[in-house]
Chains A and B, each alone.
Chain A
Amino acid sequence: MTCPTAARLRAHVDVADAEVAGHLADCVACTECVAGFRASARLAATAIATLDTDSPAAVDVEAALQHVVPQPSSVSRHHPVRRPASIAAGVIALLVAVVLVVTPSGRQAAAGFLAGFRAEQIQVVTFDPDQPLVGFESLADIADVDTGGIEDAQPTEVDDLEQAADISGFQPSQTSSLPEGATVEGMQASPPSTVRLTFVAARAPELPPALDGAELVVSVPGAVASAYQVDGQMLVVAEAGQLTVDAVGAELGQIREYLLSRPEVPSDLARQLLAIDDWTTTLPIPVPVDSVVWQDTTVAGHPGLMLQDPMGSGLLWQADGRIHAIGAEGLDVDALRLIADGLR
């Protein structure tokens, strides 16, 4: 084979080309060229990924559409639609658990994490699986907790997407690019619910007076997860709506500061959460420390996370007001990206 074109060598950096790979074994010049391409590509990827932090977590598409439609030709007269006051925050523990559960080192952590998930909705970024997490019991010491029946909202086995949509409250994406030989294991859906915390000063002397009677309303989205077998190993594709947190009777920032100052919250966790630049739109993702390798990435143009351990990998990303997660044993991240690209 004569030396490939620069275009083909660069493409090889993104998608392995067997013919090019064979050529590189014998050609020092092309090998050096590819190494240079790879280094520049890596630097560009890392640098450009930092720009994701300026992206809005969610946009109000319908409000924007209504704003544009009446004056389709008056570009200069319209103004941007601001995001609603409702604040996207908290965690999507069910989906993260899906990713973690299929990685062996994540299983143990995920079990402990799920047990305390409902009380961690506005706090977790990373956590130490050996440390106890705050639960409803301790929140009951400072607030009336109306769980909205979330304990009973267990995932239900469903037969098809239509049934999943009825339960979850949204139309789940269809998967069009599963790995060859993948067989369906089953599908589960869970309904949305709302958790309300009403702070009571009589129970907590240290509660700031402004928070007495204030209400924290956490809207937990419905979720749908489909499981597949690929060569005897598990693949899970999951999706959920947007988790939102609102405050009534006080500023959400005040409530956040108070909760993060509580002794039940590990200081390291509190420090991480307080360090988030734009916490009102940043979705903290719980990842067990030292168990799973993770890094920021983009999935089809959407900001996300890549998680990996020696036995499997996961992708987690937000797109169009939905949270998506794919986790698999024995598949690498590139294989998961193909599945993600095929979601419609």
Chain B
Amino acid sequence: MADRFADVFRRRYAELVRLAARITGDASEAEDVAQEALTALSTHEVLDRPDEEIAAWLRRVTINASFNRRRGRDRNNDRMQRSAAAERPLRPVERAGPQLAQVVRSEERELVRSALARLPERQRMCVLLRHSGYRYAEIAAAVGIAEGSVGVLLSRGEHAFRRHYEEMQP
């Protein structure tokens, strides 16, 4: 079983880190999420199942864990901002040149993540996986639906994503 786990770990770890990084926006945190997902796998009965089922399970756990972390971080940030606002007035941060461009890009990515986070879980998973290059069969397995249903959730998710994304544009 240890060999089986090591084999899955080697084949899936980098993929899960990339998937988590898309949601968390932090490479180190993404590695943490991927390691947690794989650690959970080590004692889970799905480890006895075929490779495709294991991959689908890992993708689902990784995406959900990543969004959970993101929610927790957002709550902390809200608390900190409220606390800071109570202590002193906010001052504009001086930004210039490349730093400004970097901040704008970073804010753009956060906007994308926020729009994704607003989607219902299954739609979010379909949209994220599809636009990360996964095939319909892989998406269906990860979400736990029939392959023929992926298109419905995907179209609803993309429509909702577009609406949220455009609403949140500054």
A residues with CB within 8 A of B: 5-11, 14, 36-37, 39-41, 43-45, 47-56, 58-59, 61-62, 64-65, 67-69, 71-75, 78-83, 274-275, 277, 281, 298-303, 319-321, 341
> Could you tell me the distance in whole angstroms from the C-beta of B22 to the nearest C-beta in chain A?
4
Which B3-50 residues sit within 8 Å CB-CB of chain A? 5-6, 9-10, 13-15, 17-19, 21-32, 34-36, 38-40, 42-43
Cβ of B112: which chain A residues have Cβ within 8 Å of it? Answer: 47-48, 50-51
Q: Of B15, B29, B131, B155, which one neighbours A10 at CB under 8 angstroms? A: B155
Which of B78-86, B87-95, B98-106 interfaces with chain A?
Answer: B98-106
> Could you tell me the distance in whole angstroms from the C-beta of B28 to the nearest C-beta in chain A?
5
- Asked if A78 and B27 make an inter-chain contact with CB atoms under 8 angstroms apart, the answer reads no
Query: Which range holds the interface residue count of chain B?
Result: 35 or more
- CA of A174 to CA of B43, assembled, Å: 32
- Asked if B132 and A68 make an inter-chain contact with CB atoms under 8 angstroms apart, the answer reads no
Q: 18 A-B Cβ contacts within 8 A?
A: A14-B130, A39-B162, A44-B131, A47-B165, A48-B128, A50-B105, A52-B22, A59-B14, A61-B9, A68-B9, A69-B2, A69-B5, A71-B39, A281-B27, A298-B132, A301-B18, A301-B133, A302-B15
- Asked if A301 and B35 make an inter-chain contact with CB atoms under 8 angstroms apart, the answer reads no
> Could you tell me the distance in whole angstroms from the C-beta of B14 to the nearest C-beta in chain A?
5
- Asked if A78 and B35 make an inter-chain contact with CB atoms under 8 angstroms apart, the answer reads yes
Q: Of A11, A55, A320, which one neighbours B21 at CB under 8 angstroms? A: A55
- Asked if B162 and A43 make an inter-chain contact with CB atoms under 8 angstroms apart, the answer reads yes
- Highest count of chain B CB atoms <10 Å: which of A36, A48, A320: A48
> Could you tell me the distance in whole angstroms from the C-beta of A173 to the nearest C-beta in chain B?
13
The answer to whether residues A274 and B98 also contact, given A10-B151, A80-B28 and a CB cut-off of 8 A, is yes
Q: Of B19, B40, B158, which one neighbours A301 at CB under 8 angstroms? A: B19
Q: Of A10, A73, A277, which one neighbours B42 at CB under 8 angstroms? A: A73
> Could you tell me the distance in whole angstroms from the C-beta of A111 to the nearest C-beta in chain B?
32
- CA of A53 to CA of B134, assembled, Å: 18
- CA of A26 to CA of B42, assembled, Å: 54
Q: Of B31, B40, B43, B101, which one neighbours A64 at CB under 8 angstroms? A: B31
- CA of A303 to CA of B17, assembled, Å: 12
- CA of A100 to CA of B65, assembled, Å: 40
> Could you tell me the distance in whole angstroms from the C-beta of A304 to the nearest C-beta in chain B?
9
Cβ of A6: which chain B residues have Cβ within 8 Å of it? Answer: 151-152, 155
- Asked if B162 and A80 make an inter-chain contact with CB atoms under 8 angstroms apart, the answer reads no
Cβ of B113: which chain A residues have Cβ within 8 Å of it? Answer: 51
- Asked if B35 and A55 make an inter-chain contact with CB atoms under 8 angstroms apart, the answer reads no
> Could you tell me the distance in whole angstroms from the C-beta of A303 to the nearest C-beta in chain B?
7
Q: Of B18, B31, B36, B116, which one neighbours A302 at CB under 8 angstroms? A: B18
Interface 1/0 per residue, B136-154 and A, CB below 8 Å: 1000000000001111101
> Could you tell me the distance in whole angstroms from the C-beta of A315 to the nearest C-beta in chain B?
11
Cβ of B161: which chain A residues have Cβ within 8 Å of it? Answer: 40, 43-44, 47
Q: Of B27, B98, B115, B155, which one neighbours A55 at CB under 8 angstroms? A: B27
The answer to whether residues A54 and B25 also contact, given A80-B35, A298-B131, A301-B15 and a CB cut-off of 8 A, is yes
Cβ of A62: which chain B residues have Cβ within 8 Å of it? Answer: 10
The answer to whether residues A56 and B27 also contact, given A68-B35, A274-B98, A301-B134 and a CB cut-off of 8 A, is yes
- Asked if A48 and B162 make an inter-chain contact with CB atoms under 8 angstroms apart, the answer reads no
- CA of A43 to CA of B19, assembled, Å: 19
- Asked if A55 and B149 make an inter-chain contact with CB atoms under 8 angstroms apart, the answer reads no
- Asked if B17 and A59 make an inter-chain contact with CB atoms under 8 angstroms apart, the answer reads yes
Cβ of B75: which chain A residues have Cβ within 8 Å of it? Answer: none
- Asked if B158 and A56 make an inter-chain contact with CB atoms under 8 angstroms apart, the answer reads no
The answer to whether residues A61 and B14 also contact, given A47-B165, A54-B109 and a CB cut-off of 8 A, is yes
Cβ of B38: which chain A residues have Cβ within 8 Å of it? Answer: 68
> Could you tell me the distance in whole angstroms from the C-beta of B126 to the nearest C-beta in chain A?
10
Cβ of B42: which chain A residues have Cβ within 8 Å of it? Answer: 68, 72-73
Q: A65-B9, A72-B42, A73-B42 are known contacts; what are 14 more A-B pairs with Cβ within 8 Å?
A: A6-B151, A40-B162, A44-B131, A50-B105, A51-B21, A53-B109, A54-B26, A55-B21, A55-B27, A61-B10, A65-B10, A80-B32, A82-B28, A321-B14
